[in-house]
Amino acid sequence: MLILGLDPSLSCTGWGVIRAEGSRITHIANGQIPTDAKAPMVRRLSLLHTSVEAVIAEYAPDRAAAEEVFANKNAQSTLKLAQARGAVLAACGGAGLEVNEHAARLVKKAVVGTGGADKTQVQAMLKVLLPGAKLAGADAADALAVAIADAHLSYTPPSR
């Protein structure tokens, strides 16, 4: 099963693809989709949408997973995040992918063991879980963590 993890953001959306075979996970690819802050909003959203479509076309994941939206204190930032999520999730929907959404604390708990883990701890655990994987950046690392959490949270061991 190939899982596409997504960390949507207007400034830079991270993505990561893993293979989950039972409880075993393998790194396939990861990357980031930065947008130009000076570009018009419609161009930035279009870039996110078409770039995620291209990732889906290249790797043909079986499903996707994304972090649940959280509300910032700044309403404008929350709105921009929601628009970026919409563009990214629409690309998944257009490809017929099921998308599981997970809270950030749950992702951290599934990957590191504690919901209060910081980015450094998550990235350190990714090096253990995905040896040899070269991370494209912090946003790609977050996306891989979402994919791993999704694999762990949906894994049911075989009954005896």
Could you list the active site residues?
7, 67, 139
Q: Which amino acid is at 157?
A: P
Say if residues 30 and 140 touch (Cβ distance below 8 Å): yes
Give me the residues paired with residue 30 across strands: 16
* Kind of pairing between the strands at 12-21 and 63-67: unpaired
Cα–Cα distances (Å) from 58 to 38, 51, 53, 95, 127, in that order, read: 29, 11, 9, 12, 24
Phi-psi region of 2 (alpha: psi -120 to 50; beta: other; left: phi over 0): beta
